[in-house]
Amino acid sequence: MTRNRWSDLERPPLNASALRRAVVVPDGLWTDLDVVEATGSTNTDLVVRAEHGAPEGAVLIAEEQTAGRGRLDRRWTAPARSGLFFSVLLRPGEPSGDRQPVPVHRWGWLPLLAGVATATALSRAAGVDTALKWPNDLLVTVGGEERKAAGLLAERVGTAVVIGIGLNVTLRAEELPVPTAASLALAGAQGTDRDPLLRAVLRSIADWYEAWREAGGDPAASRLQQTYAAGCATLGRQVRAELPGGRELSGTAVAVDGDGRLVIAGPGGEEAVGAGDVVHLLPGGGQG
């Protein structure tokens, strides 16, 4: 039977009005929530809104992304309504109530914060074990293998940061873009209803962001650094970091420092990596 991308009964549409009532509440972080049928990239669209003065707490969700972007401009594609594809607008560089702006050097924690928030929410709401791969992938286990179920992308816009999240929820094995991808359904999730999953993730992001802002962006005082380290599958592993400029660094991932950088102990000592692609290496030299 040929599936119609908009009439798949196993993939009902999100209920925008119910989501808005549940998420946009007085004195809450989220100030606006829009659901669109399709767009190129929610991040691109929300960046434009940010440039035109959209308030902190704007949320943009797409039932389908036709040009979703990951790190290094990689494409993120998935069937309509098979996942959660959304972006949120935060303004850490502006005062909030009686709180001062968060120093720019601490903004690098925001994608890690979003990863922690997403992982903790999904563990509770979907009943799946999750792990974080530095800096911005969420892993689940399928057939005894770690696979990527979600990716995050943060983009700075003046005093604002737009964070995009792409999460595979009901993607079937034959729909996977690459063999190393996964979905919550393939990982045995207890629930794949996207409405409560999205609510859980947004509430978790709000909780972690408020704690981080209250601490002035200090990752230790907000317990973000400790929680990230506890859930990070990269730490303790042999890794290869593919760095900007074509350089590579191999060694053991030993820590995430106060600036959110991955500390790798290699032949020449320890080095903190702030940007790059990290590959988990298996014993014997293979890639995990």
Question: pLDDT digit string (tens) for 159-199?
Answer: 999 999 999 999 999 999 999 999 999 999 999 999 999 99
Rounded distance between C-alpha atoms, residue 114 and residue 110, angstroms: 6
What are the structural domains of the chain?
A: 16-230 (3.30.930.10), 235-280 (2.30.30.100)
**Of 99, 104, 62, 55, which is closest to residue 214 (Cα–Cα)?**
99
Give the global pTM. Answer: 0.93
Q: Around Cβ 228, how many Cβ atoms within 10 Å?
A: 22
Mean pLDDT of 253-266: 97
How much is the mean pLDDT over the chain?
A: 93
